[in-house]
Amino acid sequence: MAGFDPAIHAINTDWAGAKEDADHRVKPGDDDFEWEQSPALRPNCETGESRSVSRYLLRRLLIAIPSLLGISVVLFAVLALAPGDPFGELATNPNVPPEVGMALRAKFGLDDPIMLRYCRWLAAMLHGDWGFSFVSRVDVDTLILQRLAATLLVIGSSQVLALLIALPVGIYSAVRPYSIFDQVANLLAFVGFSLPTFFTGLLFILLFSIYLDWLPFVFRADIAATGWHWYWEQFKQSVMPVAVLGLLQGASWTRYVRSSVLEVIRLDYVTTARAKGLPERIVVIKHVVRNALIPVVTLVALQMPALFGGAIVTEQIFRIPGIGSLLISSILANDTPVIMAVTFVFACLVILFNLLADILYGWLDPRIAYR
Amino acid sequence: MAGSTLASPTVSAAPEGIGATERASSGIETWRRFRRHRLAVASTVVLGLMLLAVALGPLLWQVPINDIDFAAHLEGPSWNHPFGTDDLGQDLLARMLYGGRISLAVGLAAMLVAIVVGTAIGAVAGMAHGSIDAALMWLTDLFLSLPPLPLLLLIIYLFREPLTQLVGPELGTFILVVAVIGGFRWMQVARLVRAQFLSLREKEFVEAARALGMSSLRMVMRHILPNSLGPIIVAGTIDVAAAIIAESTLSFLGLGFPPDIPTWGRILFDAKDYLDIAPHWALFPGMAIFLAVLAINFIGDGLRDALDPRTSA
């Protein structure tokens, strides 16, 4: 949802919740991670390191498989439990004789037991046979591939924007807690994640497209321009959607960064770093931030599913030809194969981003050995 | 009392009397700390006024919500129509007061669903050992990695028609939206409750109750659950805000309530194509959603400060 989850995490960062999440992922003695007390114990030779990284990645991929299976079961269960019938329209359509309808049902095996149908559906999905759209008669996978790039571009740029806002603001607020800057930033962060994406989008359109007439409010895939002009147009039409998503994310990330830096900055090793005469800037950037970012990565990864919700709404407002607007239009057109496939792709993206978060841990915290 | 699973009313009466005074004094302490969070107090006033407005407003502002008047369509705010009118000349203030009831009711009801489901799952996982705990936590993690909005849309798309035929469009959509939003928001509560239970069940007072022969169910209800209420209350407060946004998002995408039930999100959905000629139409409901969500988030923040023992210094 637009700002569905950010609030709860952003407000709960100080509760046990954040800690518990972090512990859940990185816990001493966990199968996947091992905390090693002394850096000398770590295998430091180049080949050993890279081999263990790839083995670690493989393990994480294997762990993702049960989640993917679980998601596919949930999706299939929802579809199977639904009282409607994907071929219901065929039965009521007077142009289709009942025999044809029955033959189609038999051909697609709709009367088979549910386990068999699930296995067949899963096998087809794994083969890359995702069916074709009822509406546009195009294979679902080509339809999704055409539109995936736009979605990923908008989401990716908004993440970068959020990072550019959250890191400096969050760190500066934590270094000077309860200062005027901190209080203003805190207030703005609350405003930021309380503004639903659909309302921010409309406000931006109202201000920048209608009153100021600076930016186009319809995203066009076919810009009639070449070279630099094309890039400029592309930039202009991406500004508002990216800003809508980026500000929402940035607002909640700011709070995570702030509370996480506040926790770390009180620790003894930071005092030690100061005591040995390091400049404050170095202490904060090199010693505090890197450790503080570990719980932030957890929270950000947990928020990924909600971000896709915001992306769907944003695509719908600005008519970006991505998979989110594809989902809405196929729901409005009762296009079941596309709906199922897009939902599944969103679920896969969530798992992919969780995987990226796991890799980031290893980079941020050398104590977590890749095993 | 030993071994009894259900306490008789006479047995439970006396301890509850003591508990009530204790709770009252801790309640005063909580209120004292909550008051220090000025934005939270201001937000409580704002939210109270909004609740009062949607509860009593339709009684005071008796303009019908579906009175079509083309002579006055797309008018800006005026004395006759303080919030202006929409494309059919319907009074926006009346529609927003009526729709606000549903928007806020959905938020509260979905929060209750999330709290009940989350507390139940978290409590069972926190009290059980081994495989039950692991299975429930795996389920929680699975739900956390599901993208909520696509699934909300999918479920509503599949189940709206049959449920509407069963219990009518208004109640049907209400039940569906509440159940589905609540059903995708319990995970955070479940994890918080489990974490609380895991630490509380090893505390001395619980040990003492166990040594006295108290049954598990009674121990949970009298000792463990009351002591883990703080995080549940905070998470629940913020869930209300999230549920209001979720409902508005569904309605904004045209997949929530039907057009004759003007929830705030639905009014925005209708208004978005008239942004250039009638911006007031979108601004009023948008501001209402924003204000409600902001106020609830601030209240949640204030409650966390008030209930979290770590910040009480």
CATH number of the structural domain spanning residue A289: 1.10.3720.10
| pLDDT at B163 (0 to 100) | 79
| pLDDT at B64 (0 to 100) | 73
Instruction: Give the pLDDT mean for A327-339.
Output: 81
- Mutate which of B136, B143, B154 to disrupt the A interface (most A C-beta within 10 Å)? B154
Is residue B266 within 8 A of residue B106, CB to CB? The reply is: no
Considering the domain boundaries, does residue A84 fall inside one? yes
Contacts of A46 (CB under 8 A, 6+ apart): none
Reply yes or no on whether the pLDDT at B248 is more than 60: yes
Band the pLDDT of A5: cuts 50, 70, 90. very low
| Burial of A80 from C-beta contacts in 10 A (0-12 / 13-18 / 19+) | exposed
For residue A260, give how far its alpha carbon lies from the nearest alpha carbon of chain B (Å): 15
Reply yes or no on whether the pLDDT at A31 is more than 50: no
Of A366 and B18, the one with more pLDDT: A366
Chain segment A297-307, per-residue pLDDT in tens: 878 887 888 88
Inter-chain contact B253–A191, Cβ cutoff 8 Å?
A: no
Instruction: Give the pLDDT mean for A274-301.
Output: 85
Considering the domain boundaries, does residue A26 fall inside one? no
Q: With an 8 Å Cβ cutoff, is A84 touching chain B?
A: yes
> Among all chains, which residue has been given the structure tokens 């609740």?
B51
Specify which residues A368 forms β-bridges with: A35
Is residue A133 within 8 A of residue A140, CB to CB? The reply is: yes
Of B162 and A242, the one with more pLDDT: A242
A202 lies in the same domain as A259:
yes
Contacts of B7 (CB under 8 A, 6+ apart): B1, B218
Instruction: Name the residue among A302, A313, A339 with its Cβ closest to that of B154.
Output: A339
Inter-chain contact B150–A308, Cβ cutoff 8 Å?
A: yes
Considering the domain boundaries, does residue A115 fall inside one? yes
Q: Which amino acid is at B37?
A: H
Chain segment A211-233, per-residue pLDDT in tens: 887 777 777 767 777 778 778 87
Instruction: Give the pLDDT mean for B25-54.
Output: 84
| pLDDT at B116 (0 to 100) | 93
Q: Which range in A56-65, A122-131, A279-288, B19-28 is most confidently predicted, on average pLDDT?
A: A279-288
Strands (E), A257-325: none
**Domain containing A189: what range?**
148-364
Band the pLDDT of A370: cuts 50, 70, 90. low
A326 lies in the same domain as A207:
yes
Average pLDDT, chain B: 80
Listed by number, the residues of chain A in 287-306 with a beta carbon closer than 8 Å to a beta carbon of chain B are 302, 305-306
Band the pLDDT of B309: cuts 50, 70, 90. low
A354 lies in the same domain as A210:
yes
Q: Taking Cα atoms as reference points, which of A331, A354, A260, A325 lies closest to residue A68? A: A354
Contacts of B80 (CB under 8 A, 6+ apart): B72
C-alpha span between B288 and B181 (Å, rounded): 20
A94 lies in the same domain as A222:
no
Considering the domain boundaries, does residue A92 fall inside one? yes
Structure-block tokens of residue A145: 């591939």
Instruction: Name the residue among A309, A316, A317 with its Cβ closest to that of B147.
Output: A309
Instruction: Indicate the angle between helix axes B148-167 and A46-81, nearest 10 degrees.
Output: 10
Q: Which residues from A are below 8 Å from B145, CB to CB? A: 67, 71, 305, 347, 350-351, 354
Chain segment A130-163, per-residue pLDDT in tens: 777 777 777 888 888 888 888 888 888 998 999 8
| pLDDT at A83 (0 to 100) | 62
Instruction: Give the pLDDT mean for B126-144.
Output: 85
Considering the domain boundaries, does residue A17 fall inside one? no
Q: Taking Cα atoms as reference points, which of A262, A269, A255, A261 lies closest to residue A291? A: A261
Considering the domain boundaries, does residue A153 fall inside one? yes
Distances (CA, A) of B136 to B91, B103, B128, B139: 49, 31, 10, 5
| Burial of B109 from C-beta contacts in 10 A (0-12 / 13-18 / 19+) | buried
R_g (Cα) of chain B, nearest Å? 23
Chain segment B73-101, per-residue pLDDT in tens: 666 677 777 777 777 767 778 888 888 88
Inter-chain contact B149–A308, Cβ cutoff 8 Å?
A: yes
Contacts of B83 (CB under 8 A, 6+ apart): B77, B91, B92, B93, B96, B280, B284
Q: Which range in A72-81, A101-110, B208-217 is most confidently predicted, on average pLDDT?
A: B208-217
A208 lies in the same domain as A86:
no
Instruction: Name the residue among B146, B162, B272 with its Cβ closest to that of A305.
Output: B146
A217 lies in the same domain as A299:
yes
Contacts of A99 (CB under 8 A, 6+ apart): none
Is residue A102 within 8 A of residue B178, CB to CB? The reply is: no
Q: With an 8 Å Cβ cutoff, is A133 touching chain B?
A: no
Choose the final residue of a domain: A94, A126, A158. Answer: A126
A173 lies in the same domain as A322:
yes
Band the pLDDT of A89: cuts 50, 70, 90. low
Least confident of B74-83, B189-198, B215-224: B74-83
| pLDDT at B118 (0 to 100) | 92
| pLDDT at B74 (0 to 100) | 66
C-alpha span between A61 and A356 (Å, rounded): 11
Band the pLDDT of A8: cuts 50, 70, 90. very low
| pLDDT at A88 (0 to 100) | 57
SS3 state of residue A283: helix
Band the pLDDT of A109: cuts 50, 70, 90. low
- Mutate which of A11, A151, A195, A203 to disrupt the B interface (most B C-beta within 10 Å)? A11
| Predicted complex: ipTM over 0.95 | no
Q: Which residues from A are below 8 Å from B192, CB to CB? A: 12, 15-17, 20
Listed by number, the residues of chain A in 20-39 with a beta carbon closer than 8 Å to a beta carbon of chain B are 20-21
Choose the final residue of a domain: A126, A159, A180. Answer: A126
Chain segment B44-56, per-residue pLDDT in tens: 898 999 888 888 8
Half-sphere exposure of B268 (CA within 13 A, CB side): 33
A160 lies in the same domain as A102:
no
For residue A69, give how far its alpha carbon lies from the nearest alpha carbon of chain B (Å): 10
Number of domains in chain A: 2
A113 lies in the same domain as A216:
no
Structure-block tokens of residue A211: 């009153």
pTM (two decimals): 0.80
Q: Which range in A186-200, A297-311, B218-232 is most confidently predicted, on average pLDDT?
A: A186-200
Considering the domain boundaries, does residue A308 fall inside one? yes
- Mutate which of A198, A248, A339, A350 to disrupt the B interface (most B C-beta within 10 Å)? A198
C-alpha span between B308 and A15 (Å, rounded): 8
| Burial of A281 from C-beta contacts in 10 A (0-12 / 13-18 / 19+) | exposed
A347 lies in the same domain as A303:
yes
Reply yes or no on whether the pLDDT at A17 is more than 50: no
Q: With an 8 Å Cβ cutoff, is A223 touching chain B?
A: no
C-alpha span between A187 and A193 (Å, rounded): 10
- Sign for the CA dihedral angle at B228, B229, B234, B236 comes to positive
For residue A167, give how far its alpha carbon lies from the nearest alpha carbon of chain B (Å): 22
Contacts 24+ apart (CB under 8 A), A102-111: A110/A85, A110/A86
Instruction: Give the pLDDT mean for A189-213.
Output: 86
Considering the domain boundaries, does residue A276 fall inside one? yes
| pLDDT at B12 (0 to 100) | 39
Reply yes or no on whether the pLDDT at A63 is more than 80: no
A315 lies in the same domain as A175:
yes
Structure-block tokens of residue B311: 């910040």
Q: Which residues from B are below 8 Å from A305, CB to CB? A: 144-148
A169 lies in the same domain as A231:
yes
Instruction: Give the pLDDT mean for A66-72.
Output: 82
| pLDDT at A35 (0 to 100) | 38
Reply yes or no on whether the pLDDT at A26 is more than 80: no
Structure-block tokens of residue A367: 């104590």
